[in-house]
A and B are shown apart, each in its own frame.
Chain A
């Protein structure tokens, strides 16, 4: 059985499943329940300055989008950092860490962009026995307007500066949590690295309005007739998060920096995908908020089973395995030719492939009067849309044309040697293959 013990930037936990800094980690009560349920670690809900705590709206604090059976697909929140006194949080953290010494307990921190503020609070938090810090440079609402959260995370110079202060203030690992509300994630990631960060975690939530109340003409969640943008998370954001994680993992100058993957992790498979793209562990929030802490049992059993099936014995074995296969478009093999193939035995004759291809793509699928759908190889560009809209799994597949076969669409023989855009004659900057 695979060993799920994870060491992430020096912090060891029984498994790679951490709860992200968020409402589920706001109190001792919750974190205890989480650890008892099997979570490997928790990033405590973001601590702020000593003094009167922030004030949250009474609510609603969340907006959501759902699938047909009210399956929660995306969640948006306008909650701020912890609204409980710092001392209370620190006392609770101390007790939890004492009782769960083997679990990872990381403190999320957000204080104003002043050196003294950071250098004063970190040592004080360290007294709880916590395993490290996560700098909240990501929160896109409420705190950003006060010059914190994503207001810092959107300025690489600030990230570097604050990270450096923190590294000077503590010997514990410092994780920088990145906001996705930027144009290129590599800038902030590089800044974190330059500032001495031990790791980055991403993504924080995405700025969003989940929906508009068409009766009251207000964004949701609506507070007394008005709404504001909030942070989007949950299954819907996973593809965005995966890309950002992969970009950092494959970028030469950030390559190898530990990454804590966050964003829509709902199942063991999501976690495995993040880790394959370079995440050393994952952080979860929405899935726990939707289903409760028990879901970690499925994550643990699923990841273990998959690792066993693939012959991986340790978490390190899977981290980053897919990274070498993430490339730029220009390096994709233009000589790789495939054609859609419809299994007539599996086809249920819904015609969605036909509608998609005929109306919106390449007119490469024909429909007979008795509803037999067939691919026309001379028109099929292998876009894969038919595969994606087909309701029957594996009914439509893409067949690879072997070298020497003729692509009926282009009339050209499939080459054995790969060739990409960098060497294509249509590319003005192509370098001719000698």
Chain B
């Protein structure tokens, strides 16, 4: 069953089970409680702290860190969760290096920010380990809201609606909730089935029902939801992926990175997952890094990310780029794919170097071919199957204010809606804020 590490082609079991499991262990392990105290002590409790401003959900970071430092991580968790009900996942997956920790004054002072993400995890893990759900619902309003998608935006929206006394029904296309938290994040960032545990914990608020296997445009329609519910929130994410538009894209082992990442997250045993000996990943975002790093962790010998622009234009943060390189991934910039090699089975990918001429990215005549037996496409996701009557803008659902769409009574947030970075934390903020707006609207209408 064990494939040789240097066996060509796409094969499972390149690593023994122990090594594979170690490779996919927590990227940032949890603090021991003393470590947390020491880390918390580094916070200066800044006035009007820059880290709060940098957080899309505006968590009162100095306050929660002080609550940890004074031995009340449960109170700290409440401070976090009040603003961000998925604070546990965000503590794991947020690119803190470009958000709160980048804004931390100690980053400016000494290049070593307070480890806000790990402290947040310490607080939320402590509370969740106790099985406590710290929020109670307001008196029932009698209003019901349909939420499409059980990802970060939908869950945050539904939870806030439930807190405010409304009943929420979440329609989830897949058989499992969590959205990208469950299917779209590198396995070493969310270990031990955390997304499901967090989902179960979130639902303890009550007033939220999830109906699985319900996809918009398939078993449910926007008009039907509008008829049945007092409001609708759309948070179904981006279901489609961009194509390379190259001949041979249908060749075997040319795959979408998001599917590979989803398979990794759902895998019970990493040694069962096939991976190439030589892997090429095209793209410059987190998805590209996640796919490349995990290929390497599965035992691929050569993994190369190829990005058409310079490294500073990559949407993957410097931290992510460094992580990739530290894991042995090569990052090639300023090259775009021009040919898929192989007859039926992939043997290589040909790239042309790019140049910027007159502000426009163009390919040059200089080309090279990377041998590859597996190619992952990570060049962006697209909105798939949006209801026709919704106004779109730049390929996403157009929204104003707190997620109001062009259709009355319909809100949208998360990756499917325009605005904000496509991050878990942004989706949570948008879902939460839409819920507040829905609440205001429903209250005004009653």
CA distance A350 to B40 in the complex (A): 16
> In the complex, which residues of chain A have a beta carbon less than 8 angstroms from the beta carbon of B37?
68-69
Residues A68 and B41 in contact in the complex (CB < 8 Å), given A350-B105, A392-B109? yes
Consensus secondary structure, chain A interface: loop
B38 close to chain A: CB less than 8 A: yes
Please state if A349 and B105 are interface contacts (CB–CB under 8 Å): yes
Please state if B47 and A354 are interface contacts (CB–CB under 8 Å): yes
B428 close to chain A: CB less than 8 A: no
> In the complex, which residues of chain B have a beta carbon less than 8 angstroms from the beta carbon of A235?
none
For window 329-371 of chain A, which residues contact chain B by CB distance below 8 Å?
Answer: 348-352, 354-355, 367, 371
Give the Cβ gap from A368 to chain B, nearest Cβ, in Å.
Answer: 12
CA distance A371 to B108 in the complex (A): 13
Please state if B41 and A352 are interface contacts (CB–CB under 8 Å): no
Please state if A352 and B40 are interface contacts (CB–CB under 8 Å): no
B48 close to chain A: CB less than 8 A: yes
> In the complex, which residues of chain A have a beta carbon less than 8 angstroms from the beta carbon of B40?
68
CA distance A69 to B32 in the complex (A): 13
For window 349-405 of chain A, which residues contact chain B by CB distance below 8 Å?
Answer: 349-352, 354-355, 367, 371, 391-392
Give the Cβ gap from A184 to chain B, nearest Cβ, in Å.
Answer: 37
Query: Chain B CB within 10 Å — which of A67, A70, A351 has the most?
Result: A351
Q: Which residue of B lies closest to A70 (CB)?
A: B34
> In the complex, which residues of chain A have a beta carbon less than 8 angstroms from the beta carbon of B50?
349, 371
> In the complex, which residues of chain B have a beta carbon less than 8 angstroms from the beta carbon of A391?
44, 109
B119 close to chain A: CB less than 8 A: no
Give the Cβ gap from B268 to chain A, nearest Cβ, in Å.
Answer: 41
Contact-size category for B: 10 to 19
Consensus secondary structure, chain B interface: helix
Interface flags for B17-52 (1: CB within 8 Å of A; 0: not) read 000000000000000001001101100111111100
Please state if A351 and B48 are interface contacts (CB–CB under 8 Å): yes
Interface flags for B53-88 (1: CB within 8 Å of A; 0: not) read 000000000000000010000000000000000000
B327 close to chain A: CB less than 8 A: no
CA distance A67 to B38 in the complex (A): 9
CA distance A219 to B50 in the complex (A): 40
CA distance A371 to B103 in the complex (A): 12
Give the Cβ gap from A388 to chain B, nearest Cβ, in Å.
Answer: 13
CA distance A349 to B53 in the complex (A): 13
Please state if B47 and A352 are interface contacts (CB–CB under 8 Å): yes
CA distance A354 to B106 in the complex (A): 17
Q: Which residue of A lies closest to B46 (CB)?
A: A350
Please state if B38 and A352 are interface contacts (CB–CB under 8 Å): no
For A349, give its contact among B41, B45, B108 (CB under 8 Å). Answer: B108
> In the complex, which residues of chain A have a beta carbon less than 8 angstroms from the beta carbon of B45?
352
Q: Which residue of A lies closest to B62 (CB)?
A: A350
CA distance A68 to B69 in the complex (A): 8
CA distance A392 to B110 in the complex (A): 10
CA distance A163 to B300 in the complex (A): 84
For window 30-78 of chain A, which residues contact chain B by CB distance below 8 Å?
Answer: 67-70
CA distance A199 to B26 in the complex (A): 63
Residues A348 and B108 in contact in the complex (CB < 8 Å), given A68-B37, A68-B40, A68-B69? yes
Please state if A68 and B38 are interface contacts (CB–CB under 8 Å): yes
> In the complex, which residues of chain A have a beta carbon less than 8 angstroms from the beta carbon of B105?
348-350
Residues A351 and B69 in contact in the complex (CB < 8 Å), given A68-B37, A69-B38, A70-B34? no
For window 168-217 of chain A, which residues contact chain B by CB distance below 8 Å?
Answer: none
Give the Cβ gap from A70 to chain B, nearest Cβ, in Å.
Answer: 7
> In the complex, which residues of chain A have a beta carbon less than 8 angstroms from the beta carbon of B46?
349-352
* A–B Cβ pairs within 8 angstroms, 7 of them: A68-B40, A349-B105, A350-B47, A351-B48, A352-B46, A352-B47, A367-B48
Top 8 nearest A-B pairs (CB, nearest first) are A351-B47, A68-B41, A355-B47, A348-B105, A348-B109, A350-B46, A350-B105, A350-B44
Q: Knowing that A348-B109, A350-B46, A391-B44 are A-B contacts, what are 5 other residue pairs whose CB atoms are under 8 Å apart, sorted by A's residue number?
A: A68-B37, A68-B41, A348-B106, A367-B48, A371-B48
